């Protein structure tokens, strides 16, 4: 039985590691070049699956080598690709990524098949979505398709987690169907009109999201951690200190781990703490999917910084 259904993008990441990010018109000679499967949807699916969730992907790839490699990645991670469409009319999406020595990045995306992911693709997977425990989506595919998927999940009583990346304004009708919104500082600012630059402004943005119709708001703040807001309480999850080398997949690690936590029945604030640690750990490796931690790795990491209590019950059930 599938626990998490991810609707979203699947593309290939082409990454160059540089001493610094270029400014307009500048050429910077780099070192490491890496080709790896990516796309926020695919990344989040891998993040949840690595932790032990049973995951299925809904999306599109082109009928090309990159598409074949992405499907193979799903299979290698035990993620169902039954409802991934192989589109013969266009190429698989591609992301061009530059990463500096501090882990900062710049990303350009040619969407390809991602841009053709359709409501009909979602309808084909309705039976699987209806029987799942969490529906997870992002905004790298057409908004009409995201809205259709969210409405379908909501109609079937499946909790919806929406990662509002890349940043854009969203209609209230969509937000009112969402259980959990996950937004970084920039995304929360665009969504709410609140300029988010610290914990207090993140809390204000979270409360604004609740007023816009969502049940739970999670605003991530990078090294400053994250803020979770619901009608009963607001929690600031402090940042986790690590030696970051690449922040490319951190947000996706957060979303996948959050979905995993919710599937395992822990409350939203604890699921966000789990996700906060998974995101921090992901920044210690180069790449997106390559950096997603396993449950054992996350448990060891959280134990080393005194935060393992949240994970203990899940870990013990999984490995007993």
Residue 282 is assigned to a ligand binding site: yes
Q: Is 255 annotated as a binding residue?
A: no
DSSP assignment of the chain: ---EEEE---EEEEEEE-SSPPPTT-----S-EEEEEE-HHHHHHHHHHHTT--EEEEEEEESSHHHHHHHHHHHHTT-EEEEEEEETTSPPEEEEEEE-TTS-EEEEEE-GGGGG--HHHHHHTHHHHHT-SEEEE-SSS-HHHHHHHHHHHHHTT--EEEE--S-----HHHHTT-SEEEEEHHHHHHHHS----SHHHHHHHHHHHHHTT-SEEEEE-GGG-EEEE-SS-EEEE-------S--TTHHHHHHHHHHHHHHTT--HHHHHHHHHHHHHHHTTSSSSGGGPPPHHHHHHHHHHTT-THHHHHHHHHHH-
The verdict on whether residue 40 carries a ligand-binding annotation is: yes
Judge whether 64 counts as a catalytic residue: no
> Is there a binding annotation on residue 101?
no
Q: Is 221 annotated as a binding residue?
A: yes
For residue 41, say whether it is annotated as part of any ligand binding site.
Answer: yes
> From the candidates 87, 179, 252, 270, which is the catalytic residue?
252
91 is in an annotated binding site: no
11 known ligand binder: yes
42 labelled ligand-binding: yes
287 is in an annotated binding site: yes
**Is 225 annotated as belonging to a binding site?**
yes
184 annotated ligand binder: yes
**Binding-site positions for substrate:** 11-13, 39-43, 140, 252
**Binding-site positions:** 11-13, 39-43, 140, 184, 220-225, 246, 248, 251-252, 276, 282, 285, 287
**Binding-site positions for K(+):** 246, 248, 282, 285, 287
**Binding-site positions for ATP:** 184, 220-225, 251-252, 276
Which residues are part of the catalytic machinery? 252
């Amino acid at each position: 039985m599938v626990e998490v259904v991810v609707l979203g993008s699947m593309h290939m990441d082409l990454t160059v590691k540089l001493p610094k990010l270029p400014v307009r018109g500048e050429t910077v000679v780099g070192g490491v070049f890496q080709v790896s499967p990516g796309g926020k949807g695919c990344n989040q699916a891998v993040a949840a699956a690595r932790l032990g969730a049973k995951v299925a992907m809904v999306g599109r790839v082109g009928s090309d080598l990159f598409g074949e490699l992405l499907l193979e990645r799903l299979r290698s991670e035990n993620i169902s690709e039954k409802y991934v469409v192989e589109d013969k009319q266009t190429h698989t999406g591609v992301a061009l990524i530059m990463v500096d020595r501090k882990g900062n990045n710049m990303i350009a995306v040619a969407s390809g098949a991602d841009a053709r992911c359709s409501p009909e693709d979602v309808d084909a997977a309705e039976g699987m979505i209806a029987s799942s425990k969490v529906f997870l989506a992002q905004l790298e595919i057409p908004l009409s398709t995201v809205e259709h998927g969210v409405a379908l999940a909501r109609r079937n009583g499946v909790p919806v987690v929406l990662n509002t990346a890349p940043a854009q304004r969203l209609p209230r009708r969509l937000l009112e169907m969402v259980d959990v919104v996950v937004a970084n500082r920039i995304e929360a600012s665009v969504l709410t009109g609140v300029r988010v630059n610290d914990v207090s402004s993140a809390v204000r943005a979270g409360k604004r999201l609740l007023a816009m119709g969502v049940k739970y708001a999670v605003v991530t703040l990078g090294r400053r951690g994250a803020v979770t807001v619901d009608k009963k309480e607001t929690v600031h999850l402090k940042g986790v200190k690590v030696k970051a080398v690449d922040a490319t997949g951190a947000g996706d690690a957060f979303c996948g781990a959050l979905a995993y936590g919710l599937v395992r029945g822990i409350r939203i604030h604890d699921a966000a703490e789990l996700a906060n640690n998974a995101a921090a750990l992901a920044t210690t490796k180069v790449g997106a999917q390559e950096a997603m931690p396993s449950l054992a790795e996350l448990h060891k990491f959280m134990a080393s910084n005194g935060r393992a209590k949240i994970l203990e019950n899940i870990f013990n059930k999984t490995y007993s």
